[in-house]
Amino acid sequence: MSWQLADKQLNSRFLIGSSLYPSPAVMQQAIRASGAAVVTVSLRRQNPAGIDSNPFWDLLRELPLELLPNTAGCHSAAEAITTAQMARELFGTHWIKLEVIGDTHTLQPDPFGLLEAATELVRQGFEVFPYCTDDLVLCERLLEAGCRILMPWAAPIGSARGLQNPSALRTLRARLPQATLIVDAGLGRPSHAAAAMELGYDGVLLNTAVAEARDPVAMARAFALAIEAGHLAFASGMIPERDFAKPSTPTAGTPFWQQEPG
């Protein structure tokens, strides 16, 4: 499953979050079980001030994966830009998952603030991973601003509803063939992740569905298998849905000894 994400060659299409786990130890075990190549971290939710003595950061350092800092909790472009700049200094990476929240109830991204922040951060040399809705025009504008990766939601963060608008996600994949598309937010079951990958998406990012499961380690493994299965299914060429039956053993061309007697 080797693939190219920005300037990195990765062996997993699973991107996983690092918050909400019952303990740092369980977080580490679940991330290991996921086989994920990228883990997201939030400066606002995990205080980086004690980064040299915090067991959370110590456990993350032991994992052989890429860090993707995010701007979770930011509600304006200016706030997100400042947080991204801090993340680059602390983690030594130009990758940033850009979140600019417009609605506190649904955590829906603010499209105007998101585009403003993305434009400026690209100008500053960041590789911007914008968390966005499945709106085609917004996604096109983000690409025009210099983003190479888009992270449209499946449903509101933590809702576990799965793909609320598969038609819109399918349209994004068809209309933006050169973009790296990663479904982010709203997935609750491994089958949701498989469905996203079957649409031709390049990867899946999730957190809550694993971290809040009764057994986060086992659930992380389940999602890893589902993501791999969905990607393999898409790459193998799935047959189209039909409005009629098609026998798997047609009479025509069947040897006479296998046909029913007349």
The residues annotated with a catalytic role in the active site are 97
Annotate 59-118 with DSSP letters as a single string. Answer: HHHTS-SEEEEE-TT--SHHHHHHHHHHHHHHH---EEEE--BS-TTT--B-HHHHHHHH
CB 72 within 8 A of CB 80: no
Using alpha carbons, list the distances in angstroms from residue 138 to 31, 116, 213: 32, 12, 33
Q: How far apart are CA 13 and CA 225, in angstroms?
A: 11
**Type of residue at 109:** P
Q: How far apart are CA 121 and CA 146, in angstroms?
A: 9
Using alpha carbons, list the distances in angstroms from residue 133 to 62, 105, 163, 167: 33, 15, 12, 13
Tokens encoding 203 = 């990867």
Q: How many CB atoms neighbour CB 77 within 10 A? A: 22
Q: How far apart are CA 211 and CA 231, in angstroms?
A: 23
